[in-house]
Chains A and B, each alone.
Chain A
Amino acid sequence: MTQHDYTVVIGLEVHVQLKTQTKLFCGCSTEFGAPPNTNVCPVCLGLPGALPVLNDEAITLAIRTGLAINCNIPPMTKWDRKQYFYPDLPKGYQISQFDLPICADGAIDIADPADPESTRRIGIIRAHLEEDAGKSMHDESAGISESRIDLNRCGTPLLEIVSQPDMRTAAEAKAFLTELKLLLTHLDVSDCEMQEGSLRVDANVNLHIDVDGQIAKTPIVEIKNMNSFRAVERAIAYETERQYLVWSETGATIEENPKTTRGWDDGKEQTFPQREKEESADYRYFPDPDLLPLRIPESRIEQIRSELGELPAQTRERLEQQYSIKAYDADVIVNQGRAMITYFESAAEISKDGRRTSAWLQQDVMRTMKERDLEIASFPITSSSLGELIRRISVNELETTRGRDVFNYLLDHPQATVDAATAALGIEAVDTSEIDTLCNELLAANPQVIEDVRAGKMQALGMLIGQAKKKNRNANPQLVRETLLAKINSA
């Protein structure tokens, strides 16, 4: 069978729960994990006669997000009812935004997974506010079929962010989600906890297959039920292969079957067909007559813009320039979040050596965090201690291998200072005059080495450096080497 080239086309729909104190249209708490049906009132229960009143905080968070993902915030937005019957939707409709979303036409730049030094721009079609539905729990164990409804989540504000189908690999989709999550947590608009449902992702995937210059498009599959970014990546990879196989066998294209929904089974690592909601064919959207259209004055948008602060992309650029580190390194640090950026900056201020600080952070610090399952906030070595340690290495007061000893000592003695650590390890600062004397002694005792070095046998120096270490274990080998060379060259 001929293998055809194809392009994977991926668009993502991300539902993000906004971190408001209260729900979108009533005063109930949005707290996660409360006993079922306790955070409810006549409004979110959809009781007859109850009316929605907009929570303005959700508007602020939506605008903040919209600006951060480079969207336009139109001067007027409005509310529409999306209608379908389901027991966790007590009004029989969801208040959402249909044709005038609060954010439109944005983009997010992500690091290109295929080339870490360059970026890819992923378009954002829109982001709109809507109220969440409740939760249905179906228990079909022990031969009974029972459904329970918890309406605590009902009315919680969601921002649905819809990307352009601009991603071409599963890795790009993951990079997009990572960057979006970083941005949203940085902006403090959402917790983005996939496990708690405060971030939910659906992926739309199909293939554009090159058949002798003609493009055959496979039916779009919307993948649901993915509970981690890793799952998103795997599901897209699985779906890519599955769609190619199905197309190879049946030749089915988007013209015959525009779109289907499939779920992701994390255990089996497979997608499976999902029965569509029967009413999904026609939501009969229309403007909600209980809510007035919302006018957003330019001054409000500008106010929120002025309070945005530095966004991750800007931080990367600044770190690159301010600390002379590579784009890749800035990316790694910034992707760890605000606490890591602060840690890095305060360490680098003291070390006066951004590159070395970045290297230590990525190797020693992050490795230890991983091994010991630590957050940077609870890392045993303070940023100032690490900064001081790196400063000493940087100015040759301490050699790197001894520096590692200090690092390890500090890990186990979180209260200790760098001075205390060096003292405890018997590391003493070696004066240059001491090194000078030491080198004179060594050269006097080994005249043959001078000849060898002059003849280009640099390895002869190694022997002297080894002897120097024996005589004084704190002697910095780099300094010894430099001193020896200077003396040989000037003799």
Chain B
Amino acid sequence: MLDSATEILRLQQAGELTASEVVRRSLDRIDAIQPSLNPFTHVARESALAQAEKIDAKRSAGETLGPLAGVPVAVKDVLCTADMPTTCSSRMLENFRPPYDSTVVQKLRAADAIIIGKTNMDEFAMGASTETSAFGITRNPWDPARTPGGSSGGAAACVAASCVPLSIGTDTGGSIRQPAAFCGITGLKPTYGRVSRFGLIAFASSLDQAGPMAWSVEDTALLLQAIAGFEPRDSTSLDRQVPDYMAAIQSQDVRGLKIGVIRDSLESEGLDDEQRRAVNEAIEVYKDLGAEIIDVNLPNSKYSVPTYYVIAPCEASSNLSRYDGAHYGHRATNVDPRSPLGPLAATYCASREEGFGAEVKRRIMIGTYALSTGYYDAYYSKALKVRRLIRGDYDAAFSQVDMLLGPVTPTSAFELGAKLDDPIQMYLCDLFTVGANLAGIPAISLPGGHDASGLPIGIQLQAPALEESRLLLTAAAFQQATTHHTARPRDIGGAS
């Protein structure tokens, strides 16, 4: 039951289930798996139950309810919530409570969704395994020895473990799609600006985008509908009408749709055979559904990871400057009063030394270096030029095809600890996902099968900017024709 928002809404409307019951079941489920999998940084038990009671009372009073009434939703701990801690899984913000809700959270509340808690992530969303969290690793429900992916690892794991049907993740270089793929669920990164970043604690401002995660495309569309839209408090938010996504997926007709297969991705050396097989199977599914398959190339995609790993750390080094211990967040108490730096700089250094983890520090160092006089042109400026070329590749591809199909990740979920000491290997996890962030286009990760060890494999669809409807329709057609998205982790099954 806790794996479908659509089902929860139907049962509540039919009077067969109350919101309070749903929330209690969700909390029970969280209690059961939290100690072993650790997907949550905060569980809002009391406020979720109180909110559920309100919704039940409204429903019995015959009042009109929002589109997500009584549905528990988990929110990645990078989005500000006025009534809960917002930590970015960092010591730096361990005790930080924002005085305001992010736009995404505001919209969820306005839709009568029940915010069940905040999910674990890589610290400040920097990572691909949720291992850099200051509050413990999150494990993959399909195999607790493996990572759920990252940085939205908690967000993916809590859906895959059937704690909640809906979850909000954020995606800067693949952080929604990769964990969705690792956990066998669906995850969508919207067009840059489609969902407001107001209250989304910035990692890399020009790339960050919040988006929905759920088992099915239908639930994904439902959640996207609730959070998309213009926000005047966000200058990069797009002032464009939000289409009716639920209506868009009713037609699952992909006949005549031109789907481009990214040849260089599919033939990439870094791609595991089983991932390649899943993409090839998806090609066959779409062929059977009447889509036209066309080979395309994104010639500059080989530069996308290095480009991303200049731009994102540059922006991060600046965005994270505010965490200096002076105004809020962690402040070091044991500062050497005789430090040659002087008391101010010594406090800054000690607070940041203690408050940030190793990966965050690494990226601040890289970004600071790349923006420094004498290096700016060689790194940041050049990366921006390559970013324009990568966008150009997508523009050229989309002049030929309606949609791009390819892998999400080079491999299935890897074992915990496998890449933690090798940042380059960790960064290469983003090989197939960063392109959409650099180009600002929407992309979705769909369950596309399982590998020999039973681990989920994702496939990725990418569409032109603001074509979320097309993306969802094409994805829904795939789920209509396949059952991958109905598979559940073994010891958890479909029942909860």
- Summed over the interface, the residue pairs from A and B with CB atoms below 8 Å come to a total of 100
Chain A residues with CB under 8 Å of B96's CB are: 48
B47 within 8 Å of A (CB atoms): no
CB of A45 within 8 Å of the partner chain = yes
Segment among A283-291, A360-368, A468-476 that sits at the interface with chain B: A283-291
Asked if A328 lies at the interface with its beta carbon under 8 angstroms from chain B, I say no
Q: Does B468 interact with chain A (Cβ within 8 Å)?
A: no
A286 touches B318 (CB 8 A): yes
Query: Is A371 on the interface with B (CB-CB < 8 A)?
Result: no
B321 touches A85 (CB 8 A): yes
Contact with B along A284-303 (1 / 0, CB 8 A): 11100111100000000000
* Contact A51:B233 (CB < 8 A) given known A286-B318, A289-B315: yes
Residues of A within 8 A of B98 (CB): 42, 47-49
Q: Is A90 part of the contact surface with B, judged by Cβ < 8 Å? A: yes
- Residues of chain B within 8 A (CB-CB) of A92 are 318, 320-322, 324
B235, B373, B380: most-surrounded residue (chain A CB, <10 A): B235
The answer to whether A48 touches B326 (Cβ under 8 A) is no
Chain A interface bracket (under 10, 10 to 19, 20 to 34, 35 or more)? 20 to 34
Is B380 a contact of A286 with CB atoms below 8 Å? yes
Contact B235 A290 (CB under 8 A): yes
A482 at the interface (CB under 8 A from B): no
What are the residues of chain A within 8 A of B93 when measuring CB–CB? 48
Report chain A residues within 8 Å CB of B344.
87
B338 within 8 A of A: no
B322 engages A48 (CB within 8 Å): yes
In angstroms, Cα B98 to Cα A46, docked, is 12
Q: Which residue of A lies closest to B102 (CB)?
A: A49
18 additional A-B residue pairs with CB within 8 Å, beyond A46-B327, A48-B96, A48-B201: A47-B328, A48-B88, A49-B80, A49-B86, A49-B197, A49-B202, A50-B198, A51-B197, A51-B233, A51-B236, A53-B234, A83-B321, A87-B326, A87-B344, A92-B321, A149-B327, A285-B371, A289-B206
Residues of B within 8 A of A380 (CB): none
In whole angstroms, what is the CA distance A334 to B321 when docked?
A: 48
Q: How far is the CA of A278 from the CA of B320 in the complex (A)?
A: 19
Complex contact B235–A291 (CB within 8 A): yes
Query: In the complex, which residues of chain A have a beta carbon less than 8 angstroms from the beta carbon of B199?
Result: 49-50
- The reply on A343 being an interface residue by CB < 8 A is no
A-B contact pairs, 13 of them (CB 8 A): A42-B99, A46-B327, A48-B86, A48-B93, A48-B96, A49-B98, A49-B201, A51-B197, A54-B235, A87-B324, A93-B318, A282-B373, A292-B235
Per the bound structure, the CA–CA distance linking A292 and B236 in Å amounts to 7
Interface status of A91 (Cβ within 8 A of chain B): yes
A278-B318 Cα distance, complex, nearest whole Å: 17
Interface residue B36 (Cβ < 8 Å from any Cβ of A): no
Closest-CB distance, B110 to chain A (whole angstroms): 18
* Interchain CB contact under 8 A, A51 and B80: no
Q: Do the beta carbons of A284 and B368 come within 8 Å of each other?
A: yes
Inter-subunit contact A51/B198 (CB<8 Å): yes
A81 at the interface (CB under 8 A from B): yes
Is A52 part of the contact surface with B, judged by Cβ < 8 Å? yes
Q: Closest CB of chain A to B109's CB: distance in Å?
A: 16
- B348 within 8 Å of A (CB atoms): yes
Which positions in A face B, CB cutoff 8 Å? 42, 45-54, 81, 83, 85, 87, 90-93, 149, 278, 282, 284-286, 289-292
CA distance A90 to B329 in the complex (A): 12
CA distance A149 to B327 in the complex (A): 10
For the complex formed, measure the closest distance between the CB of A42 and the CB atoms of chain B, giving whole angstroms.
6
- Assuming the contacts A87-B326, A282-B372, asked whether A93 and B235 have C-beta atoms less than 8 A apart, the reply is no
Residues in chain B near residue A48, CB distance under 8 A: 80, 86, 88, 93, 96, 98, 201-202, 322
Contacts of A85 in B (CB 8 A): 321, 324, 345, 348
Q: Which of chain B's residues have a CB closer than 8 A to the CB of A81?
A: 318
Which residues 48-88 in B have Cβ within 8 Å of A in the complex? 79-80, 86, 88
Min Cβ gap B198→A in Å is 5
User: Are A290 and B321 in contact, CB atoms less than 8 angstroms apart?
Assistant: no
Contact yes or no, A53 B314, CB < 8 A: no
B residues 98-147 in Cβ contact with A at 8 Å: 98-100, 102
Q: How far is the CA of A158 from the CA of B80 in the complex (A)?
A: 30
Which B225-243 residues have a C-beta within 8 angstroms of A? 232-236
Q: Is B309 in contact with chain A by the CB < 8 A criterion?
A: no
- Name A145's closest neighbour in chain B (CB-CB): B343
Task: Please state if A51 and B234 are interface contacts (CB–CB under 8 Å).
Answer: yes
B205 an interface residue at 8 Å Cβ cutoff? yes
Contacts of A46 in B (CB 8 A): 322, 327
Q: Are B235 and A52 in contact (CB under 8 A)?
A: yes
Q: Which residues of B contact A149 (CB under 8 A)?
A: 326-327
Chain A min CB distance to B384 (Å): 9
Partner of B326, one of A42, A52, A54, A90: A90
Q: How far is the CA of A284 from the CA of B98 in the complex (A)?
A: 28
In the complex, are the beta carbons of A290 and B99 less than 8 A apart?
no
| B102 in contact with A286 (CB, 8 Å) | no
Taken together as a complex, chains A and B put the C-alpha atoms of A397 and B458 apart, in Å, by: 102
Contact between B235 and A284, CB atoms less than 8 A apart: no
A51-B197, A291-B235, A292-B235 known; A286-B324 Cβ under 8 A: no
1/0 per residue, CB under 8 A from A, across B283-302: the answer is 00000000000000000000
Cβ of B236: which chain A residues have Cβ within 8 Å of it? 51, 289-292
Q: How far is the CA of A53 from the CA of B233 in the complex (A)?
A: 6
In the bound complex, what is the Cα–Cα distance between A311 and B409 (angstroms)? Answer: 65
Q: Is B376 an interface residue (CB 8 A)?
A: yes
Q: Is the CB of A49 within 8 A of B326?
A: no
- Residues on A with C-beta less than 8 A from B368 are 284
Contacts of B327 in A (CB 8 A): 45-46, 87, 90, 149
Interface string of B401-444 (1 = CB under 8 A from A): 00000000000000000000000000000000000000000000
**B371 adjacent to A286 (CB under 8 Å):** yes
C-alpha spacing A285/B368, complex, angstroms: 11
List of A residues within 8 angstroms of B376 by Cβ? 284, 286
Residues of B within 8 A of A42 (CB): 98-100
The residue of chain B having its C-beta at the shortest distance from the C-beta of A88 within the complex is: B326
Chain B residues whose C-beta falls within 8 Å of the C-beta of A53 in the assembled complex: 232-235
Which 3 residue pairs of A and B lie closest in terms of their CB atoms, listed nearest first? Answer: A92-B321, A289-B205, A289-B206
* Cβ distance B191 to chain A, nearest Cβ, rounded Å: 15
Distance in angstroms between the alpha carbons of A47 and B326 in the assembled complex: 12
Contact with A along B358-377 (1 / 0, CB 8 A): 00000000001001110010
In this complex, the member of A81, A90, A91, A286 whose beta carbon has the largest number of chain B beta carbons within 10 angstroms is A286
Instruction: Give complex CA distance A278, B344 in Å.
Output: 12
Which B residues touch A286, using CB under 8 A?
Answer: 314, 318, 371, 376, 380
For the complex, what is the distance from the CA of A93 to the CA of B315, rounded to whole Å? 12
How far, in whole Å, are A90 and B326 apart by their CA atoms in the complex? 8
Flag whether B200 is at the interface (Cβ < 8 A). yes
- Provide the bound-state CA to CA distance between A138 and B199, in Å: 33
Q: Which of A91, A284, A291 contacts B322 (CB 8 A)?
A: A91
- Select from chain B the residue with minimum beta-carbon distance to A48: B201
Closest to A282 in B: B373
A289 CA / B318 CA spacing, docked (Å): 10
Residues of B within 8 A of A45 (CB): 327
* B342 nearest CB neighbor, chain A only: A278
**Cα–Cα distance between A330 and B188 once the two chains are bound (Å):** 70
Q: Which of B235, B348, B372 meets A51, CB within 8 Å?
A: B235
Report the bound CA distance from A49 to B201 in whole Å.
4
Instruction: Please indicate the chain A residues that have their CB under 8 angstroms from the CB of B322 in the complex.
Output: 46, 48, 90-92
Give the residue among A51, A54, A92 with the most B Cβ atoms within 10 A.
Answer: A51
Q: Are B372 and A49 interface neighbours, CB within 8 A? A: no
Beyond A87-B326, A282-B372, A289-B206, whether A49 also contacts B318 by CB under 8 A is no
